[in-house]
Structure 1
């Protein structure tokens, strides 16, 4: 495939993906401006114009942290910040990648990717390409020139990496039209979630789901296995402020995240064993809860059971293996990931209690949005956010002193605030009081960012107001609007 991607294919693909993804909002002049700049950058690098731009949003999880990989629903919304990828076919078996951020090196990638454990930025693009190729035997690798530009802060818990994975997958489907049509948005989300495992992150699929399912102005309650999405209408005067701690955590370059995944899995298996169940059948706390207490989640009645079955202390591999009546080697093979096989300290009760309580908070958050008057709803969901942060700090132990400081500074101006994303750095999300937004930003500037040398000019890169935005979309360039 050489030259310009066929215009008629673009129209057909775009029409199909506008069912699966959200169409570009042509009134969004900021996005238009960014696309123009990326188009100019592409032409400078490749001496031709791109055929189109793929746009995928970041996300902020409002409530439901570290529960998706345990099988529970989450409640995110898409951000206005997005990853943009401009592409054209190059007729070779190589893809050349450049990034408008000069700190990211140029890369050339081939047709296969079997994964890595210390990923560079372009490996996320490779994940998405490989995920698309794995979708169908009819998919063929086709080289392209691609220019990337993102304004989602990296390593901030706002899903910049998953947005790039998702954008790359869409690009590869575009390159294969009309032989292979794009799958449903749910299948796109699932294949991108599976693809990201190639770099060792054992996530639960929230980031990819909101990337494709998001709608402007609406948050989403997302459930898994099977993937289901329910609209959540937030209070009309809800204002969310994102504040970056400037502590960056690449969850793929550390095993902290995957240790938590394993701790939750082991907690489910030990609890199952103690209740006389076949523990090998349980890899998530949700599956265990469905078996033991299917109607108790929102009332937290599962938590006392958890506390009665698990001790509030560290466990090691040997005693967990003894509890499950297997050898340590079998335990590692059945329940642990490659990067956690040498870990020997696991906190089962604290992790499980967080997950059960956080999953209940998600349901309560949705209920409040559905049923409460606006002011009562704001107070209630703000308190849920505060409780979530406390649990993430004390039970899940994935906060950071700088995140805690941001939450503390924000408290007088908000209904509630919490870390968002994996933690260990990254961002907080604050539900600001509508008449206190400017005061909140001023306080963050004075008491946090100025002490780190961040002035007015750069403040907008680290603190911003956001609202629910649309999902992945295609942005055709310089072509007539045919039906």
Structure 2
């Protein structure tokens, strides 16, 4: 059994907080292009417990990654990147202090159910849980949207992962069973209920990714280059009538533009389909999104494609697609109500046999 906060630090915590992982239903690689996204929260949570100290020392323990009883430490104001889970704690304290928020040292205990490298925002879940706890512990005057922006700054400015605003916004503001329709340029959001006729499914492929690595960064740079060549601030400013112009760009920039422009349109169509409960249409949008990620954005991998293909063969599944940044991670699916658990188990079993990977069904959660 993992040690508790009391076991490690000799006294109880003052504050406890948590934040969920998220699954993006549709709208991939659109957030850093100023576009639309449609995520929702998942049951898996990151939990933190904190107690303030009188000095500037931060002492941190992670149930998931620390060796037994191993407490890592650093001084406030002396944060440096170490390519380690502690970077997320350091990043939060550095960003808060740069924004003018006064902190003292603290002790922190961390535990997460959100699998790493799964495309389900494990890092944003950690950032937001820590930010929520520190906001309460030190009575920081930080509203909800600014808190999410701080979470993005931790990833971009300290950790070095060029992620968009969707992950911290979804982790902080989304709910289970409720999609968060977010305009990432205007930072406007609306909660859209999922029809009761749907069972969401999330299956982790077993192939991990790393957003701080090169491929994700390359895609973002390609989008910025394409926008500059087309004379717009962001690819959000383009519509389908601009695709002929985009096709004349040097390869592969035209493909990247086509994905972003058509994906934005698919998000808007998906919101309409949710509201009108057009489930077959919604499923087709999922498959079209996956094809676009595979062909135009080139962020899928064979294992993910296999998982989607197996889902397509299942009579209870309306649609399936890669979710998250890509290059591994998870697939999100929509199944007929009441069939989600059985369909997920079937699909995961077939996938394991064909791929040799060890998938895990994250949604719906198995009942113990």
Using the size of structure 1 for normalisation, the TM-score is 0.70
* Residue of structure 1 equivalent to 2:199: 239
TM-aligned CA distance change 1:249 to 1:106, over 3 Å: farther
State the aligned residue count.
359
Q: Confirm or deny: 8 A CA contact 1:76 1:210 kept in the other structure.
A: yes
* Residue of structure 2 equivalent to 1:122: 86
* Residue of structure 1 equivalent to 2:76: 111
* Residue of structure 2 equivalent to 1:366: 271
> Does residue 1:385 correspond to 2:286, yes or no?
yes
Paired residue for 1:45, among 8, 15, 23?
8
For residues 299-325 of structure 1, the C-alpha deviation after alignment (integer angstroms, 9 at most, x for no partner) is x33323322x424x3xxxxxxxxxxxx
Note the 1:72-87 alignment, pairs <5 A: 72-87=35-50
Query: Cα distance, 1:441 vs. partner?
Result: 2.7
* Residue of structure 2 equivalent to 1:464: 362
TM-aligned CA distance change 1:453 to 1:351, over 3 Å: closer
Query: Cα distance, 1:142 vs. partner?
Result: 1.2
> Does residue 1:214 correspond to 2:170, yes or no?
no
For residues 128-181 of structure 1, the C-alpha deviation after alignment (integer angstroms, 9 at most, x for no partner) is 222222333xx223111111000001111100001111222223323322xx42
Paired residue for 1:408, among 309, 315, 321?
309
Q: C-alpha separation between the residues in 1 aligned to 2:223 and 2:209?
A: 21
Using the size of structure 2 for normalisation, the TM-score is 0.91
Matched position secondary structure for 1:108? strand
TM-aligned CA distance change 1:218 to 1:244, over 3 Å: same
Q: C-alpha separation between the residues in 2 aligned to 1:251 and 1:70?
A: 16
Q: C-alpha separation between the residues in 1 aligned to 2:71 and 2:255?
A: 43
Structure with greater helix share of residues: 1
Query: Cα distance, 1:463 vs. partner?
Result: 0.4
For residues 443-475 of structure 1, the C-alpha deviation after alignment (integer angstroms, 9 at most, x for no partner) is 234322357475xxxx7xx203249xxxxxxxx
TM-aligned CA distance change 1:49 to 1:426, over 3 Å: same
Q: Confirm or deny: 8 A CA contact 2:290 2:321 kept in the other structure.
A: yes
Paired residue for 1:94, among 49, 54, 57?
57
Paired residue for 1:164, among 126, 139, 159?
126
* Residue of structure 1 equivalent to 2:21: 58
> Does residue 1:184 correspond to 2:143, yes or no?
yes
Matched position secondary structure for 1:406? helix
Q: C-alpha separation between the residues in 2 aligned to 1:430 and 1:190?
A: 29
Gaps of 5+ in 1: 1-36, 273-281, 290-296, 314-346, 468-483
Query: Cα distance, 1:109 vs. partner?
Result: 2.3
Paired residue for 2:244, among 304, 312, 317?
304
> Does residue 1:225 correspond to 2:175, yes or no?
no
State the superposition RMSD in angstroms.
2.2
TM-aligned CA distance change 1:187 to 1:63, over 3 Å: same
Q: C-alpha separation between the residues in 2 aligned to 1:80 and 1:111?
A: 33
Q: C-alpha separation between the residues in 1 aligned to 2:152 and 2:309?
A: 34
Matched position secondary structure for 1:54? strand
Structure with greater strand share of residues: 2
* Residue of structure 2 equivalent to 1:204: 164
Q: C-alpha separation between the residues in 1 aligned to 2:329 and 2:190?
A: 27
Note the 1:12-23 alignment, pairs <5 A: none
Q: Confirm or deny: 8 A CA contact 2:19 2:129 kept in the other structure.
A: yes
